[in-house]
Structure 1
Amino acid sequence: MAANYNKTAWFYDSLARLVFGSALKNSQKHLLPLVPKNARILIVGGGTGQTLEDLAALQYEGLHITFIEISANMTALARKRNVGNNEVVFIVEAIEQVQLKSEFDVVITGFLFDNYADADLPVTFNHINSVLKPGGLWLNTDFQLTGKWWQPLLLKSMYTFFRMFSPIPVSNLPEVDKVFVLKRYKAIASATFYGDFILTRAYKKSH
């Protein structure tokens, strides 16, 4: 189960801008133009809901979005976002506890899996995978280590800081791409930000 950032909701976005500038926001919106019109979208770990506004800026209406976030305080902020005329259902719960129908055209996960150990990742991944239609699109954005000396230091600092507010059971990034490959997803687009420390990638689920 992912960490709960309830206690940091009030300053999370400000801190992200202080450390990363616009990189976190830009990385998560970069591949949103790939989302088809009138799509049924599942957002997991949606945080304060910036992605809702970014989607509305591209498609003001016609989207059917299920927004799942474990933090009630984060969700409260997300509810204030301008979602246009898109339909949004908010669920305050860990994704592992939510039962959904297999009806989504798109899954969006932003900085979700960095809270999971490699041993725990498959359970959550498989749960999400089960509700994405064959041929569906999965947009995943998260941190990665590419060999630059400062990346592990920054990552450790981030884990240490947020552990003061919430139990975070990991200190290292899981190998998420290997899970996508194992489940026969095909990477169709990607981009990096902030000195390659942030990777956003679009995967297509096999039929």
Structure 2
Amino acid sequence: MSVNFDPVAKPYRTLERLTLGRALERTREHYLPRLTHARKVLAVGDGDGRFLAKLLRQNSQLEADAVDTSAKMLAQLRFRCRSDENRLHLFRQDALTFQPKTQYDLIATHFFLDCLTQPQVEQLTATLVPSLNEGGLWLVSDFRIPPAGPMRWPARLLVRGLYLAFRILTGLRVTQLPAHERALASAGLTRVAQRLFLGGLLTTELWQRSCQRCPSS
């Protein structure tokens, strides 16, 4: 059974808020003020486009490429970005087969890498990192299992329940969180910022490609 996110495209925002309120939205948007420098962004699996719409609104010079397999998710994204549609390019395609034809200042993956297996995350990062400009950023937001503390076991149960729900609704076969930090580091990126939410259940991170020509701080 192939994965199909079309059934959850329209109710995605409602389902998200019923599960964790506005926590996922706050996680996605936490680093928006630090992204004003970007002129070209690649958004992979941005869902219904709430993040990308705000990013385009805050930066009138930005052009965005958005990749998703779901036609209905892309339709939601296009609708939310309709005021900036002339700066938006949509690709209905599996991210694992997407071959960038330009260089980006920013790559954004919000609650998308958790839909992939570890080998798939490693494949994706190996493919996309070369298209990231020197000094460019990869913004990732995702679930995590805290290594210790009171949220460790509740996080395990919640993540397991979410995987089960998405398996029923979309056919997703992944059952455990990949180690995205290992894949990003192996691809040559360095984590330069991290913010945790809900006791460590959610993380948003900025990873940077090294810049030989950037001035030292």
TM-score computed with the length of structure 2 as normaliser: 0.88
Q: Secondary structure of 1:192's match?
A: strand
Provide the rounded CA distance (Å) in 2 between the counterparts of 1:137 and 1:175: 18
Deviation (angstroms), 1:112: 1.0
Q: Which residue, out of 146, 155, 158, partners 1:154?
A: 158
CA drift at 1:36: 3.5
Match of 1:79 in 2: 78
Of residues 117-126 and 84-93 in structure 1, the stretch that sits farther from structure 2 once superposed is 84-93
Partner of 1:10: 10
1:165: how far off?
2.1
Equivalent residue for 1:131?
131
* Structure with greater helix share of residues: 2
Structure 2 residue runs of 5 or longer lacking an equivalent are: 212-217
Identity percentage of aligned residues: 27
Aligned residue for 2:206? 202
1:179 partnered with 2:183? yes
Which stretch shifts more, 159-168 or 21-30?
Answer: 159-168
Q: Which residue of 2 aligns with 1:142?
A: 142
Give the letter for the 1:22 counterpart.
R
Other-structure match for 2:41: 41
Deviation at 1:32, TM superposition (A): 1.7
TM-score with structure 1 setting the length: 0.92
Q: Matches of 1:81 and 1:205 in 2, distance apart?
A: 30
How large is the Cα RMSD of the aligned pairs?
A: 1.8
1:30 equivalent in structure 2? 30
- Cα separation, 1, equivalents of 2:144 and 2:28: 14
Aligned-partner residue type, residue 49 of structure 1: G
Separation in structure 2 between the aligned mates of residue 166 and residue 77 of structure 1, nearest angstrom: 17
Contact in 1 for aligned 2:43/2:107 (Cα 8 Å): yes
Alpha-carbon distance, 1:122 to partner: 1.1
* Contact 1:67 1:91 survives alignment (8 Å): yes
Q: Match for residue 98 of structure 1?
A: 98
Note the alpha carbon deviations across 1:173-204, whole angstroms, 9 max, x for none: 01111112222312111111122111000011
Separation of aligned partners in 1, 2:81 and 2:179: 34
User: Any gaps of 5 or more consecutive residues in structure 1?
Assistant: none
Count of matched residue pairs = 205
CA contact (8 A) 2:36 2:58 kept: no
Rounded to whole Å, the distance in 1 between the matches of 2:96 and 2:119 is 15
User: For residue 197 of structure 2, what is the aligned residue in structure 1?
Assistant: 193
Deviation at 1:102, TM superposition (A): 4.0
SS of corresponding position for 2:80: coil
User: Residues 111 and 3 (structure 1 numbering): CA distance in 2 closer, same or farther, change over 3 Å?
Assistant: farther
Distance 2:45 2:125 in 1: 13
* Structure 2 residue aligned with 1:63: 62
- Residue type at the aligned position of 1:104: Y
